[in-house]
Amino acid sequence: MILDQIKANEVSFQEVIAHIEANFEFTPTAFKNGDTYNAVGQNSGSCKVFSFAKLSGLSQQDTLHCFGDFYNKDVLGNPDGTDHQNIRNFIKYGWDGILFEAEALHSVRR
Tens-binned pLDDT, residue by residue, of the chain (110 aa) = 999 999 999 999 999 999 999 999 999 999 999 999 999 999 999 999 999 999 999 999 999 999 999 999 999 999 999 999 999 999 999 999 999 999 999 999 75
Separation between Cα atoms, residue 20 and residue 48, nearest integer Å:
7
Closest among 74, 69, 100, 104 to 88, alpha carbons compared = 74
Give the DSSP H/E element, type plus range, for residue 31: strand 31-33
Give domain limits for the chain: 2-107
Fold entry, domain 2-107:
pseudo Tubby roll (3.20.160)
Stated as kind and residue range, the H or E segment containing 15 is helix 13-23
User: Within 10 Å of residue 93's Cβ, how many Cβ atoms?
Assistant: 16
Residue 31 CA to residue 9 CA, distance in Å, equals 25
